[in-house]
Amino acid sequence: MLDINEIYNQTSKLDAKDKALIQKAYDVAHEAHKDQLRKSGEPYFIHVFATAKNLAHFGMDAKTIAAGFLHDVLEDTDTPEEKLVEEFGEEIVKLVNGVTKLGKVKYQGHARHVESLRKFFMAMADDLRILIIKLADRLHNVQTLEHVRIDKRKRIALETIEIHARLADRIGMNNLKGNLEDAAFPYAYPEEYKKLQEILANTKFDNTKDLDLVTDKLTDELKNQKIHIVEISRREKYKYSLWNKLVKYNLDIEKIYDVVALRVIVDNIEDCYRTLGIVHSIWNPLPGRIKDYIATPKPNGYRSLHTTIFTGTGGVVEVQIRTPEMHAEAVYGIAAHFIYKETGGKNFTIKGSKDRKFEWLSQLQELHKTVDDPEKFLQHLQMDLFKDRIFVFTPRGDVVDLPEGATVIDFAYAIHSDIGNHAQNGLINNKNASLGTKLASRDIVEITVNPNTNPSSKWLEYAKTSMAKKHINTYLRQNSLLSKFRSFAKF
């Protein structure tokens, strides 16, 4: 019998009522799956228990953890839906049904891949918790892939990297993304995985001593300067992410400085910058490697200060500095962010989220409603979701999140369709810029509007975002219909 305390120990957020609900879900799932075995020969209940435990670990609410226990009950057992509704209510059963629907999608090459993504986005739009349960379920499945038939392994592994890990990344759940990818990596890309193992085994790469040295000296100096250290620890780069970085550096591991990095957690933002200053006063930083993700967070919301220093003993060490809040965000992502800003348990969808960090999500739902052709939808997705993003600012300091390569016209449409439709030119950092000028992160952008200016087909060449293209195309189409109508009338 698996000990339910293992679930409770993952989180401090559960009260007695929550625990009673979770215990009931445990019992019902245990009974429903009692005669089923997994491919490994173990009781099926182990899988739903692991899923629920993952959800508790992500800090999810009791209803989501309960739904984790029940997620395969409707699909794989003959428990009637009415019975679940009776016992657990509509909300939990809706989550279970959502996960079941997602489960029917299988990765079978390109076309199905598109379909899977669409289903994920629909589910996400419905209730973000459905996606998170599915990811918790997938994490356990991919971690137990060795029991799956060989021909199925690769498909599941690829699907995990292509879809699940990307979604985890996009909702800022960095540890989950890393764990999904690392479990899938050996099955998805066996050759590459082997190569990485070889590289790691063959390099005398070991910066343990450097890390010890820096840790000791920095701990002392922070104490002297009266900066309270919440935690100072090492983080090892995830294997799949390390592999991707290696590929960019021609497999030269000597060029990768963050295989193992030092992570310093301090009380507040001010202490983060002070700590960075102290690090630089002791050790020389490598030029060009100081990254302020606090002032300019990564597209998925990640915040931290990064710097890479010469240790003075021939070594190089990356130091990451952040607050406990930033750390929680980096681990739990969207869950840390606004799932717990719930209002009466109903605010679990991302509709109308005012959180600019995740604005792309609501834009995507919008897109989902308007683009029906799966191929086109995928193109939009790849453009909008999976490519790198830049952050630019309005003169008032609002952040606008755009894909890399976006231009002034994209910015204009991102502010408002009317501003886009009548944009005459732009000011980038107070200098004149044409509508086709590419933007860079941190640019401050202003748009000059002229009511007599209208979109032209030239603008389509400037536009990078699907939102801008959509508005321009709509205008051009209406306008050409109008002019056809006019010439027809004249005729």
Residues catalogued as catalytic: 75-76
Q: Choose between 61 and 137: whose C-beta lies nearer to Mn ion.
A: 137
The nearest distance, CB 137 to Mn ion, in angstroms, is 4
Residues between 325 and 384 with contacts to Mn ion, criterion CB under 5 A: none
CB of 103 to Mn ion, least distance (A): 7
Under rule CB under 5 A, how many of the chain's residues touch Mn ion?
A: 2
What φ, ψ does residue 321 adopt, rounded to 5°?
A: -120, 130
Q: What is the DSSP letter of 2?
A: -
Q: How far is CA 153 from CA 108, 184, 257, 388, 466, in A?
A: 13, 9, 33, 29, 35
Minimum CB separation of residue 133 from Mn ion in Å reads 9
Q: What is the full DSSP assignment across 357-378?
A: GGHHHHHHHHHHHH---HHHHH
Part of the chain binding Mn ion (CB under 5 A), chosen from 64-72, 308-316, 400-408, 433-441: 64-72
Region near Mn ion per CB under 5 A, out of 68-76, 219-227, 273-281, 363-371: 68-76
Q: Phi and psi (nearest 5°) for 116?
A: -60, -45
Please give the full DSSP string across 14-29, using - where no structure is assigned: --HHHHHHHHHHHHHH
Per CB under 5 A, contacts with Mn ion among 150-209 are none
Q: How far is the CB of 71 from Mn ion (least distance, A)?
A: 6
Give the residue with the Cβ less far from Mn ion, 76 or 221. 76
Q: Which positions from 384 through 413 interact with Mn ion, judged by CB under 5 A?
A: none
Residue with the shortest CB distance to Mn ion: 137
Contact assessment for residue 32 and residue 10, using Cβ atoms and an 8 Å cutoff: no
Q: In what order do the strands lie in the sheet with 431-433?
A: 431-433, 423-428, 445-449
Measured CA to CA in angstroms, residue 295 lies from 44, 269, 439 at distances of 47, 10, 18
* 72 forms part of the interface with Mn ion (CB under 5 A): yes
Please calculate the CA angle 302-15-126 and round it to the nearest 5 degrees.
50
Instruction: Find the shortest distance in angstroms from Cβ 101 to Mn ion.
Output: 13
Indicate the residue among 106 and 376 with the shorter CB distance to Mn ion. Answer: 106
d(CA 302, CA 328): 10
Q: What residues numbered 100-159 form the site for Mn ion, per CB under 5 A?
A: 137
Nearer to Mn ion, 168 or 305 (CB): 168
Taking the complex as a whole, how short is the minimal distance between the CB of residue 130 and Mn ion, in angstroms? 13
CA-CA-CA-CA torsion sign (198, 199, 203, 207): negative
- Look at residues 455, 433, 454, 461 and name the one whose alpha carbon lies nearest to residue 445: 433
- Interacting residues toward Mn ion by CB under 5 A: 72, 137
